[in-house]
């Protein structure tokens, strides 16, 4: 069965072996042959985000084509909606969260996509966003509502969850993701993503992350940092550098002067203005671990920081193009919300993986290819992708301009 599933596009990105491993680890794999085994249930959770307007039973038909082909059936076996819900509940969210950790790896290679790197460091960005959920009592109790001044109830009409993602800037591949209640602080949400950082990376982040503890925890991963900083933060000039930047110190709050000096972290501060920008966005202040202006000139870092906005494009791809602007997720319980979220992230990674194959084969930048076009390609080909022998030679990845 796994062999036939491996013929599908989704399973080329998320291998059945990895799916079986996480299901076994969490004790929820299928122990006997079923018409809807657990491994197919995981791919079903991915397909939910590829076909946001389709009924549950129709989405099952998409992932079951390979199973029908393997058994010689003309059409997939029909599965009741209740059986789908039961299997989803049995699988839960943890196996899909583990698949994000195992399968969502960086895509770019420096020899083919040099724009994904700076001074030998892979460019990544971290940020958060929110999205609406079905207005069910359990979802509301677990995730909470945003406030609203115009609502009689004093809150928005739908509960919301908050998420954080770490992305590879050039490819838009999501390398790590986390979900929590709406009121959870953004840094608390991002802390689990630090496990995906490491030496050889340069992490970009907005001005919400510039406290001493934030910097200390992120720097401990071995990654270099380039983060925007609030204009109001006190950063005394320690050493003025030739390019107009200066070295300063981030010190812990709430400790004595001697201890603050002992634990302080040296950072380089880059201040610049954006010509033509409105007053609110005119001036920028960056902190970086790249202390040598000869290795990392200020003008290069100022230009580089604006690649952080690639993460906003990732949120647009997730919410607008992948889910076709569907207002809320489908799931009506907190555990299935989390499961659907991680399936959503994996589906996005599958589309980005497919686009990356085209970009690499045709030696194009990722920005030259259409994310929406590759979503449509995956939607069209996924139902048929289990209907050919799994050992057949792979064809060249198509180009979707």
pLDDT greater than 70 at residue 394: no
Mean local confidence (pLDDT), 157-184: 96
> Long-range contacts made by residues 153-157, C-beta under 8 angstroms, separation at least 24?
none
Sequence length of the chain is: 401
From 298, 314, 330, give the residue that closes a domain: 314
Interval 312-335: pLDDT, tens? 999 999 999 888 767 788 999 999
Q: Is the pTM of this model over 0.85?
A: yes
**Does residue 325 belong to any structural domain of this protein?**
no
- Quick one: pLDDT at residue 389? 44
Provide the number of structural domains found in the chain: 2
Q: Which has more confidence, 64 or 144?
A: 144
Interval 345-382: pLDDT, tens? 999 999 999 999 999 999 999 999 999 988 888 887 76
In sequence order, which residues have a C-beta less than 8 Å from that of residue 39 and are 6 or more positions away?
Answer: 1, 2, 5, 16, 19, 20, 23, 29, 30
What is the extent of the structural domain holding 23? 1-91+370-401
Least confident of 149-163, 194-208, 248-262, 374-388: 374-388
Mean local confidence (pLDDT), 375-395: 61
- Are residues 68 and 147 located together in one domain of the fold? no
Question: Distance between CA 184 and CA 178 in Å, rounded?
Answer: 11
Strands (E), 208-282: 224-228, 239-240, 246-250, 265-273
**Does residue 355 belong to any structural domain of this protein?**
no
- Are residues 107 and 50 located together in one domain of the fold? no
Least confident of 52-56, 246-250, 392-396: 392-396
- Quick one: pLDDT at residue 391? 46
- Quick one: pLDDT at residue 79? 75
- Are residues 2 and 27 located together in one domain of the fold? yes
Mean local confidence (pLDDT), 20-40: 84
Interval 267-306: pLDDT, tens? 999 999 877 666 556 788 999 999 999 999 999 999 999 9
- Are residues 179 and 267 located together in one domain of the fold? yes
Residue 73 neighbours by CB distance under 10 Å: 12
For CA atoms 333, 338, 344, 347, give the dihedral sign. Answer: negative
- Quick one: pLDDT at residue 1? 38
- Are residues 160 and 283 located together in one domain of the fold? yes
Residue 277 neighbours by CB distance under 10 Å: 11
Q: Biggest alpha carbon distance in the chain?
A: 77
- Are residues 135 and 230 located together in one domain of the fold? yes
**Does residue 350 belong to any structural domain of this protein?**
no
């Amino acid at each position: 069965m796994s062999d036939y599933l491996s013929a599908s596009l989704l399973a080329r990105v998320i291998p059945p072996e990895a799916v079986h491993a996480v299901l076994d680890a969490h004790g929820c794999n299928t122990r006997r042959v079923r018409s809807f085994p657990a491994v197919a249930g995981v791919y079903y959770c991915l397909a939910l985000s590829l076909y946001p307007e389709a009924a549950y039973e129709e989405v099952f038909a998409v992932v079951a084509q390979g199973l029908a082909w393997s058994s010689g059936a003309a059409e997939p076996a029909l599965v009741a909606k209740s059986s789908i819900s039961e299997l989803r509940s049995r699988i839960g969210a943890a196996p899909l969260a583990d698949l994000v950790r195992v399968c969502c790896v960086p895509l770019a290679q420096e020899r083919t996509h040099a724009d994904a790197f700076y001074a030998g460091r892979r460019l990544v960005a971290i940020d958060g966003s929110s999205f609406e959920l079905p207005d069910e009592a359990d979802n509301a109790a677990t995730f909470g509502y945003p406030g609203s001044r115009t609502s009689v109830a004093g809150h928005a009409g739908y509960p919301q969850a908050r998420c954080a993602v770490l992305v590879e800037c050039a490819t838009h591949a999501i390398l790590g993701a986390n979900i929590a209640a709406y009121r959870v602080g953004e840094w608390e949400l991002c802390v689990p993503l630090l496990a995906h950082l490491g030496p050889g990376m340069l992490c970009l982040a907005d001005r919400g992350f510039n406290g001493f503890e934030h910097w200390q925890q992120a720097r401990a991963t071995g990654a270099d940092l380039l983060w925007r900083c609030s204009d109001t933060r006190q950063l005394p000039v320690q050493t003025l550098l030739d390019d107009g930047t200066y070295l300063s110190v981030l010190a812990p709050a709430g400790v004595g002067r001697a201890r603050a000096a002992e634990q302080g972290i040296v950072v380089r501060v880059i201040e610049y203005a954006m010509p033509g920008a409105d007053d609110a966005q005119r001036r920028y202040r960056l902190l970086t671990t790249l202390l040598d202006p000869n290795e990392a000139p200020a003008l290069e870092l100022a230009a580089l920081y604006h690649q952080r906005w690639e993460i906003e494009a990732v949120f647009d791809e997730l919410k607008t193009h992948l889910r076709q602007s569907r207002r809320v997720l489908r799931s009506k319980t907190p555990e299935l919300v989390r499961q659907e979220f991680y399936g959503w992230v994996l589906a996005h990674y599958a589309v980005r993986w497919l686009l990356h194959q085209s970009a690499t084969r045709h030696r194009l930048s990722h920005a030259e290819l259409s994310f929406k076009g590759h979503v449509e390609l995956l939607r069209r080909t996924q139902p048929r992708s289990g209907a050919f022998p799994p050992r057949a030679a792979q064809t060249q990845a198509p180009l979707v301009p």
